[in-house]
Amino acid sequence: MRDVEFPEVPRPDEQARRQAVARQESLTKPVGSLGRLEELGVWIAACQGTCPTRPFARPRLVVFAADHGVAANGVSAYPPEVTAQMVTNLLTGGAAANVAAANAGVGVRVADIAVDADTPGPIAGHKVRRGSGVIGREDALTEAEVVAAVQAGRTIADEEVDGGADLLVVGDMGIANTTVAATLAAALTGIEPVAAVGRGSGVDDRGWMRKTTSIRDALRRGRPVAHDPLNLLRVSGGADVAALTGFLAQAAVRRTPVVLDGLLTGVAALLAEDLAPGAARWWVAGHRSAEPAHDAVLRQLGKEPLVDLGLRLGEGTGALAALPLLTLAGRALGEMATYEEAGVSGPVIAPPPLPGAVRD
């Protein structure tokens, strides 16, 4: 699938990063005392290419919505029509993500990539198909659909960045998508189906068994192509994961930082880093989801999540819960007074170097 190639991903700005490290040492607090917030502030400066940092002007959440054929196996506690119903709920402001976005000052966009229903015109502009194949016995998508979905994600990232977004947050909505995500996580990290499977939106013990079997069957088909991101998306993925993959890679190409959410966005991140090496430097992990496979995915991404609240919702809620921490980190670096400005005496003993420099 040569139609999907990304240009070389730029690095966050090294000069701004160095300036930010130096500035952290000049601010009126013991060196390193803001802990991880200091690393995050440095990361924001490097992504913005400027120090002091600026407050984010237009943070945006994009929720990627799609249905999944594997829902027919009885792997979710909820019926497939909930996907379209929740899309409506997200559009009218009643979902958890709407509240979390409002709390964090983030604008919300919903993109129907493969919902198995008609959705309003403005959100269906990038729709690739309805649903997907039942991944235990057939391919999720055709080659053309994979390409179209990845391109849809790229276009959505471009639209957001061109519209002024300076921080992106990703989310998912789609019944049975944790079965797909767990399959991809197992294929990409090597964990077994029983280690990858989770309760998703709350499946019972019998459903859990059906889900584990579905992941096992899907993994049997997906493992042979696990090293090839686009073919893995075709065999075992879905149009939402493919679009998220394109979106995450393109956000990095466009030098725009992203806050990752739960399991589905995590597997898309692994695939995007594969397609566009270095893209992961532009992402921060918002939270650790209660889905067991998410931990393996985060480890493979080399990301320590900002919060671990036992959330298991998706929609971007974990990322949005963490967002005020990110905002604080940026503002502390940008707005605190220096020792010189405030007339506060600096240390009399040279402080130890800042702990664990930021992954740039």
Ligand X SMILES: O=C(O)c1cccnc1
The contact set with ligand RBZ (CB under 6 A) reads: 76-78, 82, 86, 172-179, 200-201, 203, 313-315
Q: Which helix (H) or strand (E) holds 113?
A: strand 107-114
- In the complex, least distance from residue 192 CB atom to ligand RBZ, rounded to whole angstroms: 19
Note if 138 is an active site residue: no
Query: Can you tell me the distance from the alpha carbon of 89 to that of 99, in angstroms, rounded to the nearest whole number?
Result: 12
Choices 122-130, 219-227, 262-270, 322-330 (CB under 6 A): range interacting with ligand X: 262-270
Find where tokens 């699938």 sit. 1
Task: Tell the smallest beta-carbon distance from residue 176 to ligand RBZ (Å).
Answer: 5
Which residue's CB is nearer to ligand RBZ, number 102 or number 144?
A: 102
**In the bound complex, what is the minimum distance in angstroms from residue 238's beta carbon to ligand X?**
13
Does residue 124 come out as left (phi exceeding 0), alpha (psi in the -120 to 50 range) or beta? alpha
* Chain-centroid distance, C-alpha 201: 18
Of 161 and 320, the one with the shorter C-beta distance to ligand X is: 320
Please report whether residue 286 would count as binding ligand X according to CB under 6 A. no
The option from ligand RBZ, ligand X, none interacting with 358 (CB < 5 to 8 A, set by class) reads none
Burial of 205 (0-12, 13-18, 19+ CB in 10 A): exposed
Q: Counting contacts by CB under 6 A, is residue 289 touching ligand X?
A: yes
Length of the chain as a residue count: 360
| Binding-site partner at residue 193 among ligand RBZ, ligand X, none, CB < 5 to 8 Å by type | none
> Which residues sit opposite 287 in a β-bridge?
307
Between 39 and 172, CB nearer to ligand RBZ: 172
If contact means CB under 5 to 8 A according to the sort of partner, which of ligand X, ligand RBZ, none does residue 76 touch? ligand RBZ
From CA 359, how far away is CA 281, in angstroms rounded?
7
State which of residues 134, 196, 313, 319 lies at the interface with ligand X (CB under 6 A).
313
Which residue in this structure is represented by tokens 């990322």? Answer: 319
Bridge partners (DSSP) listed for residue 258: 168, 283
Q: d(Cα 73, Cα 134) in Å, to the nearest integer?
A: 8
- Compute the distance between CA of residue 266 and CA of residue 181 in angstroms, rounded to an integer: 9
Structure tokens, 241: 């994961």
Q: Residue 60 binds which entry of ligand X, ligand RBZ, none, with Cβ cut-offs from 5 to 8 Å by kind?
A: none
46: number of Cβ within 10 Å: 27
Using CB under 6 A as the criterion, what x/- string covers residues 153-182 for binding ligand X?
Answer: -------------------------x----
Does 314 contact ligand X by CB under 6 A? yes
Q: How far is the CB of 294 from ligand X (least distance, A)?
A: 5
| Residues 181-200, interacting with ligand X (CB under 6 A) | 200
Q: Residue 40 binds which entry of ligand RBZ, ligand X, none, with Cβ cut-offs from 5 to 8 Å by kind?
A: none
Amino acid at 62: V
Which is catalytic among the residues 38, 192, 315, 341?
A: 315
Tokens matching residue 100: 């979390």
Q: How far is the CB of 324 from ligand X (least distance, A)?
A: 19
Cα-based distances in Å from 53 to 34, 35, 56, 275: 16, 17, 9, 30
Q: How many residues bind ligand X (CB under 6 A)?
A: 13
Residue selected from 291, 295, 321, 332 as contacting ligand X according to rule CB under 6 A: 291
Residue closest to 252 by CA, chosen among 51, 1, 58, 12: 12
Q: What are the residues whose beta carbons fall under 8 Å from the beta carbon of 5, sequence distance 6 or more? A: none
Residues that bind ligand X (CB under 6 A): 178, 200-201, 261-264, 289, 291, 294, 312-314
The set of catalytic residues is: 315
